[in-house]
Amino acid sequence: MREKIMMKSTESDHFYTTDKNKTKMAGRKLEMKKYDPKLKKHVLYKEKKLPGSSSK
């Protein structure tokens, strides 16, 4: 089962939306470096819950 998540920049208010495998990533928060177009450089993005997403 896949869950919709938001990847939020740690240095600006930019975010990406994506999904992750709920069964394999159970209990772990996703962190990765991605390109932030507002800062024009790669920064750390951390997983946040998507507003309005329901948890079952």
Q: Is residue 44 part of a domain?
A: yes
Domain-embedded: residue 17: yes
CATH of the domain at 45: 2.20.28.120
Q: What residue numbers bound the domain in which 39 lies?
A: 2-49
Write the secondary structure of the chain as one string of H (helix), E (strand) and C (coil): CEEEEEEEECCCCCEEEEEEECCCCCCCCCEEEEEECCCCEEEEEEEEECCCCCCC
pTM of the model: 0.82
The pLDDT tens digits of the residues spanning 19-35 come to 999 888 778 899 999 99
- pLDDT: which is higher, 9 or 23: 9
Structural domain total, the chain: 1
Domain annotation covers residue 56: no
Q: Would 14 be classed as within a structural domain?
A: yes
Residue 54 lies in a domain: no
